Amino acid sequence: MTKHDTSLIGLGLYTPAEAARLIKVPAAKLTRWLKGHGSGNRTYPPLWHGQVDLHDDKLYLGFLDLVQSRMASAFIAAGLSPQKVRRALILARELIEHDHPFATSRFRTDGRTLLLEALGEDEDDRPLVDLFKRGQYVMHKVIEPSLKGIDFDTDIAARWWPRGRASDIVLDPARQFGQPIIESVGIPTSILSAAAEAEGSVTRAARLFRVSTAAVQRAVDFEHGLAA
């Protein structure tokens, strides 16, 4: 199976390195989350199973994996251990009935309640329970930023505007396998940015692809931002 197989349309396709550039979560961490890992005598299973399996023993992420990874990273940064994120995922998956519950609009509204149930009342969880009982914190510091710029179709994440709609840059798993594109022209930002570098000019790259110089400049700025 190749990257251009039609079965991948609508899923998105990212290597861990590509995903890491987009969501600023280290590729090694994404690999541990989706493949599991061992430490000493302990084995930790995957936090969840990814959308994409090309049967080549390599790890790939789909678009929903990308969205869910951003949320998982935000929760870990807020103080949850990966094991507690797994508990939250299991509970949310059962209640929301979706393999990627963190990538649903229902989690946006019910996430605080689900997290509190997942944490429970264990003594070790008390600081986190207290933290997440403060609804303003979990919504405005964790959930909302992670789902900012996400469009939902039938409650499932469908598109991500990483710099807001005004930027004209979108990740849409139904277009270009979910790679960042200039939405108005449908060309990946990586291609336009590489063309500007190769041509030595935004203007010449714009002429080559018959797009506006503004579109090429947006692509260049976006790609430079990913590299920073």
| Residue 55 buriedness (CB in 10 A; 0-12 / 13-18 / 19+) | exposed
* CB distance 96 to 108 below 8 Å: no
According to the model, what pLDDT value does residue 124 have?
61
Tokens of 95: 């209640």
Tokens of 4: 């251009």
| Residue 7 buriedness (CB in 10 A; 0-12 / 13-18 / 19+) | exposed
CA distance 87 to 37: 17
Per-residue pLDDT of the chain in tens (228 residues, 90 and over written 9): 344 444 677 899 999 999 999 999 999 999 999 999 887 788 888 999 999 988 888 999 999 999 999 999 988 888 888 888 888 888 888 888 899 999 999 888 777 777 777 666 565 666 566 666 665 666 677 788 888 999 999 999 999 999 999 999 999 999 999 999 999 999 999 999 999 999 999 999 999 999 999 999 999 999 999 987
According to the model, what pLDDT value does residue 4 have?
41
According to the model, what pLDDT value does residue 191 have?
98
* CB distance 61 to 201 below 8 Å: no
According to the model, what pLDDT value does residue 111 have?
76
- Angle, alpha carbons 136-138-143 (nearest 5°): 115
Residue 157: other Cβ atoms inside 10 A: 23
SS3 track for the chain = CCCCCHHHCCCCCECHHHHHHHHCCCHHHHHHHHHCEEECCEEECCCCCCCCCCCCCCCCECHHHHHHHHHHHHHHHHCCCHHHHHHHHHHHHHHHCCCCHHHEHHHHHHHHHHHHHHHCCCHHHHHHHHHHHCHHHHHHHHHHHHHCCEEEECCEEEEECCCCHHHCEEECCCCHHHCCEECCCCEEHHHHHHHHHHHCCHHHHHHHHCCCHHHHHHHHHHHHHHHC
pTM: 0.87
According to the model, what pLDDT value does residue 129 have?
64
